[in-house]
Amino acid sequence: MKLSLRLVHLCRDRSCGALHWQRAVAILGLAVSLLACASEAVVQSTSTAQPAGRLYRPEGNGPFPAIVLLPACGGLGGYVFAQAELLKADGYVAFAVDTLSPRRATDLCLKGRHTVDDVAGDAFQALAYLRALPFVDRDRIGVMGWSHGAMAALTAISTQPRSGAFQVAVAFYPDCAYFSGNTAIPVLLLLGERDDWTPPGECVKTAARLQQQGRAVIYKVYPGAHHGFDQFRSQTVTYRGYTLGYDPVATADARASIRAFLVQHLRRSQP
């Protein structure tokens, strides 16, 4: 399978949201491609066997544990890129999946709920891609998603085979109707108390039930936090009738929780 790789520079401004980033990429794609850095590449596949996306690689030969990143329905943005950089700094390979370009879409929320299954398929394609890379530890790969991408991540781990599968999952503000609990892997759920798009109640109930069964399912509900609490905005906004708001305290705690969770459950077997 032939991959076309080109090096790009990340959006360093945390204030660029998903929609603004998409417009910037569309308008300034050529300029962005000239700002290269050796640890990051855009993967554009000519085959359906591999998803489009951005690969982040730490310094060194590895093999490194890795994380597949699935964005919210608006696609890749600063919040995903920031988390990918944090993962890279901590010694993880990260692959941020571009869920929009291959579908010629601008917003998967407008495409219907069936697209969750489609993005779960993207996750498995990214998993296969990472397992084939020589600098990735093929037995230590996790998945992380936001909103629509979080639902896809939970769908993936609930339907995956026992071997060659994701080893951990992190889900930001998902709809836990997509979380059957049919998984034995550790799961971290990061939820906003005031989320009116995907209220945390169902996730809390599911997590509590699985904890009673001895499953490693952890959940955190951030007081006062809205949907998209880790996506920088200068003010709270309304999108499709739902409230979106940035919470720096919840964001900092979520990132610290992810780091501790991955150290405990994904890096544990590393010499």
Convert the pLDDT of each residue in 185-206 to its tens digit: 999 999 999 999 999 999 999 9
Residue 128: the pLDDT is 92
Residue 164: the pLDDT is 75
Asked if residue 223 has a cis previous peptide bond (ω within 30° of 0), the answer is no
* C-alpha–C-alpha distance, residues 67 and 102, integer Å: 21
Supply 26's token pair: 């569309």
pTM score of the predicted model: 0.80
**Closest Cα partner for 96 from 109, 105, 110, 85?**
85
Phi, psi of 170 (to 5 degrees): -125, 130
Residue 37: the pLDDT is 36
Supply 35's token pair: 């700002």
**Closest Cα partner for 157 from 188, 131, 111, 199?**
188
Residue 181: the pLDDT is 80
Q: Are 139 and 163 in contact (CB under 8 A)?
A: no
Supply 22's token pair: 């998409």
DSSP category for residue 3? E
* Mean pLDDT in consecutive groups of 10 residues from the start of the chain, 271 residues: 33 38 34 34 44 92 95 92 97 94 82 78 93 94 96 92 87 93 91 96 95 94 97 90 95 97 81 43
**Closest Cα partner for 68 from 134, 7, 157, 3?**
157
**Closest Cα partner for 146 from 124, 173, 126, 122?**
173
